[in-house]
Structure 1
Amino acid sequence: MSFHKTLTASTAALALALAAAPMTVFTAQSAVAQEAAEYSGDQLDAFTSALIEVASVREKYTPLLQSAETEDQQTAIIKEANAEITDVIETTDGITMDSYLEIAQAASQDQALNQRIIKRVQAQNETLQ
């Protein structure tokens, strides 16, 4: 199954799981999510672009992390993955790390916002296919 089909098939899981934690072990602190926060379409588009790229990074590093034989190897893989995730987010036009984490936190708590993000992920997937 291609990456795009896999991503389409797991859109809801991505939006929920990755929005809450870009990488399971990613330790950056997020800003407190605002209740019923309103985000513009441009902000959510930038977030969605970053989210899809973060998913790609996660897909790349998860098997490496699972096959690591020592704690030192795991630590090195986590460090490398987190650096790549940070770079992906920071180089995405229209979003900062702080705003990415804020939106991710808000989406994990606000079903309506999460649905807006899911629709954007699906739309971006359709354009990639």
Structure 2
Amino acid sequence: MAAPTVLRSNATLVGHSVVPLITKSSDPSPPDELLARIEAEVPLRRYDADEILERIGTLTCEPPEALLRMTGLDTKDKESAARLAHFTIRAANEIQDGQDVSKEEAAVAAAQQLSTTEPVNPNDKRPPPTSKS
């Protein structure tokens, strides 16, 4: 049996269109045991509706009640919140912007991208070259 989708630590829909999420939410829901999860060991059904909606808001930076209304789901129903969370988690995991990269690796990569000169030798006593305009 397939395992449920689990929210990636770097997954987000912030800054991305929620239209695909709204469109996907009309797809059939999977069985409870295959609903996407916020945490690997905790099924969505264990959360109360407010917790689920809070996570949806964090993932989308959109009011979850508005998303529920746009999808035609009941804004007061826990089942509707879980259904929307499932499709939100799946959509957030599909966004390729985020990468699990340590700050040190990211800093080195950024510095390498910005570097247009040869590495500086700290023991070199000569003044740095000046640009000619």
TM-score under structure 2 normalisation?
Answer: 0.27
Higher relative contact order structure (alpha carbons within 8 Å, sequence separation ≥ 6): 1
Decide which structure has the larger Cα Rg and report it: 2
Structure with the bigger percentage of helix:
1
TM-score under structure 1 normalisation?
Answer: 0.28
